[in-house]
Structure formats: C-alpha cells, structure tokens
Amino acid sequence: MKKLSIVVLISGRGSNLKAIIDVANPLVNISAVISNRPEAAGLIYADEAGISTEVLDHKDFATRLEFDSALQECVDKYDPQLVVLAGFMRILSQGFVRHYKGRLINIHPSLLPKFKGLDTHKRAIEAGEKEHGLSVHFVTEELDAGEVILQARVPILADDTEESLAARVLQQEHKIYPEAIQLFAESGFRPDRFLKPVRSDN
C-alpha cells in the first residue's frame, strides 16, 4: 500500500509533531521535518524517530519572499503529498500557498470561523463563549480562512484562565491532528473526497 508522504514544518516545541510521530500511522510516512529556527525543540523528536531534518533560518534571508522561495525548494526535494504546519510561526506568502494548494494544512486553536489570528483563548473567554476548541484546515491566501477538515470542541469552564483553556485545547490538538492526516491518507490524497466530521470532546 502506498503511504502518504508528508513534510512537517515547525518553529518551536513540536508537541503536535510528537503526537503525529507517536501515532505511527502505517498509511503515513514523515519524509522530513523542517524548522525555521535552529533551536526548535521539535527537531529532537524528529531526530529520535530517525526522520530527516532541515533548518532554514528565516533570519538568514533579506525578505520573506526569499525565505519562502528557499523553503519551497527545500520542501519540494521530498516531493510530499501533504505539507503539515505544526506550530510553524510564519505567515506564508501567497505564492507559497498557491504552490501547495489543496495539500497544505494547519491547526488553529479556535472553532473557525470564530477567532482567527492570535490570542484565541483569551478572546474566547472575554467574549463569554460557552465552548472553544480547534480546527484543522486547509491553508489559503486569506489567514485562517481555508476549508475546515476536522474540529474538536471543549467547554469553557467558569474558572478557566487563558492558560487552563489552552492546555485543554492542546490535549485535543494532539488527538485531532493525526486524525486529520489519517483522513487525508484514506481519501486517496484528494481533498475533494473528504468527509468532514466535527467531534465534540468535553
């Protein structure tokens, strides 16, 4: 059986990367992990799992477009069917996003289309929301606006802080991201064949 080849892009601790590695999905092959930060702790998880790693420090490039061009060249060496953003803290250029249209996914800590952008946990609490969660979605040229593949929901408790809510959402991220990649593998690598279940976890 042909495996889904993925490249994972990270910038930091790599907890979602670790969750994807730990599932050891027989339908998925992580071809490489690429970081824009040399000190990213997630590179250690990849090394321990015997996965190829690359570091492309964005500080070495004069412009965002130059970095994205080099990143695209680096990713394309591995010819992935799916590019997974797992805590990759860079806004990607339109050209990069178009190049991977339909095979570039991200995980965002809110129930999109609510709370696009930053500080989602704080904003959800301040807005008086009763539930919060996360969304795995396709990346498009508009920030956090791509089609949602999978979501998970958590209640917002009366005594929740930004930190406590973030911790519960992160637990669900570690479950949902591997599931979303599984859906992509089972679809025959075709985005238009997705089922789009929405799971509720209390």
Question: What single-letter DSSP state applies at residue 199?
Answer: E
Question: What single-letter DSSP state applies at residue 146?
Answer: S
> Residues 156, 131: contact at Cβ < 8 Å?
yes
Question: What single-letter DSSP state applies at residue 193?
Answer: G
Q: Cα(first)–Cα(last) distance of the chain, in Å? A: 36
Residue 154 three-state SS: strand
Catalytic-residue membership of 108? yes
β pairing state of 52-55 and 28-35: parallel
Count, residues in the chain: 202
Residue of 58, 99, 108, 132 marked active site: 108
Which residues are marked as active site?
108
